[in-house]
Amino acid sequence: MTTVEIPNPTKRRFVQLIQLLDNWSEQKITSSDISEITGWSTSLIRHDFWLIGFSKGVSNGYFVSELSEAIKLALGIETSESHYIEKGNVADENRFSDSNDSRSFFKNICIAGLGRLGSALLDESFFENSNFKIKAGFDSNVNRVEILRSTFPLYPANEMQFIIKQQKIEYAILTVQDKDAQNMTDRLIKTGIKGIINMTNVILKVPDNIKVENLSIINALNLVI
Amino acid sequence: MTTVEIPNPTKRRFVQLIQLLDNWSEQKITSSDISEITGWSTSLIRHDFWLIGFSKGVSNGYFVSELSEAIKLALGIETSESHYIEKGNVADENRFSDSNDSRSFFKNICIAGLGRLGSALLDESFFENSNFKIKAGFDSNVNRVEILRSTFPLYPANEMQFIIKQQKIEYAILTVQDKDAQNMTDRLIKTGIKGIINMTNVILKVPDNIKVENLSIINALNLVI
């Protein structure tokens, strides 16, 4: 599937919009509904839809399912629907079964750093209803790895290289302490990871082909004051 | 103190830059150093500095402490230095003591929702070296409030109105479940809170005067794929 080139601000709005649409109880939604909740102007909303070639229904609203599907396709987020169409395999009834870990419907992720914040994420239910599946947790502290309970396996950080390749893990959530952030990032990059959700307060130095989203709580607080 | 009006993209870069400067081991930093780590162009970096009227030293770098101070002042983040100058009170030796809760150096925050993620934040050390101080945690589940251990007090959500006013809490970190996000937000707004760090996956509907920063991990993952 080719992904349309979408400007970053639009992409950010779309990612939020998906959550809104997924929780919308009615069959249709208008740009005014969206504007009222998000604060984005209706013209901006319509412009975003135009960018991805979505112009169905305007007078009395968009069909939520169609709109959601169009946005997910444009962002490259596979849906059960798109997966089904793309594979074109009617007989593929196991596509949602847990037994087939290599299926493309889910993107595999890992948690790097199992301190307070990282271990709070050791719960698959946190990612349910999403396209992401946690496959592993890593920490340099072997004791921590042995003591913590989790529904998926935890490993010492020195097994990272092997496990990330073996489990086809593509993205990491970085929850180490600030002082270890860059070092752990360098190690993750060596494993061939594609993107990092950076929950530390550190600006990570990464090559151009690695995507980073910064979710530092302290930085966010500094933005709301 | 009056805060300069800074465009949002610049503000976001500044908030990240503060972390970089705070961890910079040398006395000086050049725009090339900053560019190499952040990926921002040197002209963009210089333009940001120009916006806040900071143009000291260019040939062989900026003094890190001066630059950091200038950025924090522009963002309205009080530093020990600026607090000292602003108050102009040499005798105010108690300004960093924990006994004086109403001092303006710290912004008081609370955690709303003490599930896995929220309770991972029940640790003052998470916010050390920042301008933020956790004063309370809230949860609708009274059992949870009683069982969890914390270095600051936890309260049932129905005491929120009183405690937030009494403790002069200005900002909340929202860590409830998605289904409770808007309801808890409405209650927080009624208490007079100024800003919310939204860790849920929901788009929050808030009045214009309430600032929200969205830190949804799933949304961030959708942005790096």
> What ipTM goes with this model?
0.81
Residue B221 is predicted with a pLDDT of 93
Residues in chain A with CB shorter than 8 Å from the CB of B117 are 120-121, 126
**Residue in A16, A202, A211 nearest the CB of B214:** A16
Q: B36 to chain A: which residues are within 8 Å by CB?
A: 205
Give the integer Cα–Cα distance in Å for B194 and A203: 27
Out of A15, A178, A220, whose CB is closest to B215? A220
**pLDDT attached to residue B112:** 98
Distance CA B23, CA B28 (A): 12
SS3 A26: coil
User: Kind and range of the H or E element at B88?
Assistant: none
**Residue-wise pLDDT tens digits, B168-192:** 999 999 999 999 999 999 999 999 9
Which helix (H) or strand (E) element contains residue B62? strand B62-63
Of A39, A132, A195, the CB nearest to B218: A132
- Confidence (pLDDT) at A65: 92
What is the predicted pLDDT for the residue at A30? 92
Q: Give how far B19 is from chain A: nearest CA, Å.
A: 6
Range of weakest confidence among B36-40, B182-186, B198-202:
B36-40
Q: Is A197's CB within 8 Å of B17's CB?
A: no
Over residues B128-153, the pLDDT tens digits come to 888 899 999 999 999 999 999 898 99
Subunit contact B76:A225, Cβ cutoff 8 A: yes
Residue B67 dihedral angles phi and psi, to the nearest 5°: -65, -45
- The CA distances from residue A53 to A4, A47, A78, A149, in Å, are 10, 10, 18, 46
What is the per-residue pLDDT for B215? Answer: 95
Q: Give the number of A-B residue pairs with CB atoms closer than 8 Å.
A: 153
Instruction: Tell me the shortest Cα–Cα distance from A217 to chain B, in angstroms.
Output: 7
Interface contact flag, A75 B222, Cβ < 8 Å: yes
- Contact state of B225 with A127 under an 8 Å Cβ cutoff: no
Q: Are B191 and B164 in contact (CB under 8 A)?
A: yes
The single residue listed with the structure tokens 């005014």 is A32
Mean pLDDT of B57-61: 72
Which residue stretches of chain A have pLDDT < 50? Answer: 1-2, 83-103
Interface contact B17-A77, CB threshold 8 A: no
Three-state DSSP state, B10: helix
Q: Across the interface, do B197 and A220 touch by the CB < 8 Å criterion?
A: yes
CA distances for A203 relative to A117, B37, B65, B189, angstroms: 18, 7, 18, 32
SS3 state of residue A45: helix
pLDDT at B60: 80
Question: Higher-confidence residue: B169 or B54?
Answer: B169
Q: CA-based angle A18:A21:A25, to the nearest 5?
A: 155
Q: How many other CB atoms are there within 10 angstroms of residue A41's CB atom?
A: 11
> Using the beta-carbon criterion (under 8 Å), do A126 and B132 form an inter-chain contact?
no
Q: Over 60: is that where the pLDDT of B1 sits?
A: no
| Minimal-distance CA residue of chain B relative to A128 | B218
Pair B63, B54: CB distance under 8 Å: no
Cβ pair A224:B12 closer than 8 A? no
**Residue B212 and residue B205: Cα distance in Å, rounded?**
10
pLDDT at B90: 41
Cα(A83)–Cα(A105) distance, integer angstroms: 7
> Mean pLDDT, to the nearest integer, of B71-79?
84
**Which of A171, A195, A217 shows the shortest C-beta gap to B173?**
A217
Phi, psi (rounded to 5 degrees) for B206? -135, 155
How much is the average pLDDT of B17-46? 91
Are the CB atoms for B143 and B135 separated by under 8 Å?
Answer: no
pTM of the model: 0.82
Mean pLDDT over the full length of chain B: 86
pLDDT (0 to 100) of residue B189: 97
Backbone angles phi, psi at A112, to 5 degrees: -110, 105
Report the C-alpha gap between A44 and A31 in whole angstroms.
9
**Given an 8 Å threshold on Cβ–Cβ distance, is A205 in contact with B36?**
yes
- Report pLDDT for B64: 93
**Which residue would you say has higher pLDDT here, B201 or A59?**
B201
Q: In what helix (H) or strand (E) does residue B108 lie, and over which residues does it extend?
A: strand B107-112
Nearest to A12 among B39, B75, B223 (CB): B223
Lowest mean pLDDT among B36-50, B52-66, B146-160: B52-66
Helix (H/G/I), strand (E/B), else coil: B47 = helix
pLDDT at B81 over 60: no
DSSP result, A48-88:
HHHHTT-----TT-EEHHHHHHHHHHHHT---HHHHHHHHT
A-chain CB neighbours of B12 within 8 Å are: 223
pLDDT band at B157 (very low <50, low <70, confident <90, very high): very high
Lateral strand order in the sheet of A154-156 = A154-156, A132-139, A107-112, A169-174, A195-198, A211-214
Contacts of A168 in chain B (CB under 8 A): none
What's the gap in Å between the CA of B41 and the closest CA on chain A?
A: 14
Q: Nearest CB to A202: which of B23, B130, B222?
A: B23
What pLDDT is stored for residue B104 in this prediction? Answer: 57
Name chain B contacts of A109, Cβ cutoff 8 Å: 221
pLDDT for res A57 = 63
Instruction: Return the amino acid letter for B93.
Output: E
